[in-house]
Amino acid sequence: MLKVLALDTSTARGSVAVLEGREVKAELRLHSPRTHSTLLLNSIDFLLDRLGWNLGDLGLVASGIGPGSFTGIRIGISTALGISQTCSIPFAGINGLDAVAHQVEYLSGQIGVLLDAHRSQVYYAEYIREGGRIRRSKKANLVNVSDLESCFAGRHLYIAGDLDASGVLAKNNTAPSDWPRPVAVDLFLASTVGRLAQVRKRLWRTGDYIVAEPVYIRPPDALRSKNRKR
């Protein structure tokens, strides 16, 4: 059975999970605004030690690649790539919006997924279930929270993700028949990242010079400041 190390540090909800196949054998999660760099390696060591495993037992390492915090995304990817190359095992990068959508793939119809982007904005994408699988039907964008009501209006849409980032659902949903309909998901994404990575073998990367493309959506602040000065 494939042993997988999965991690996600894209947001303040940092998590590390160790899986054997689809079964989560151990997991650590921490909701913290602090950088995950001070805790990530210790968390990995702790989980493996508790299971009596070592890095050499792993057959895959997977990381969330965003969207989210610029620094958090880099920490997760660089740690996973380092383990992948050191242990000569495949690496897989998983989009956080896809990970949320994967949790609700049992639903039929349109599914909107949002994650808090702060600054009164959300990262938002839409998905649809077809042929027993879920696929993205609308690419990820940065959306103002104030625009969500018009985005959802009149649509039979399930909404999953960081619902606290949107006051629209709480204000409009007064009965079970109301649309859009919120769906509860787990926003500590490491375990879902690990499961989805096993399904998407086309994303596996191996070799001495593996690269991963982060999903930022919002440009890093340093780049935005540089562009303003031009």
**177: buried, middle or exposed (CB in 10 Å: 19+, 13-18, 0-12)?**
exposed
The pLDDT of 158-184, averaged and rounded, is: 76
- Quote the CA–CA distance of 117 and 11 in Å, as a whole number: 9
Collapsing DSSP to helix, strand or coil, 171 comes out as: helix
For residue 174, what pLDDT is reported?
47
- In what helix (H) or strand (E) does residue 8 lie, and over which residues does it extend? strand 3-8
Tokens found for residue 119: 């600054």
pLDDT of 139 above 60 = yes
The pTM of the full predicted model, rounded to 2 decimals, is: 0.91
For residue 169, what pLDDT is reported?
63
Residue in the block written with tokens 């031009």: 230
For residue 30, what pLDDT is reported?
87
pLDDT tens-place string over residues 39-83: 899 999 999 999 999 999 999 999 999 999 999 999 999 999 999
pLDDT of 221 above 60 = no
Could you tell me the CA-to-CA distances from 66 to 24, 93, 105, 217 in Å, in that order? 22, 9, 20, 9
Collapsing DSSP to helix, strand or coil, 33 comes out as: coil
Domains of the chain: 3-96+188-229 (3.30.420.40), 105-183 (3.30.420.40)
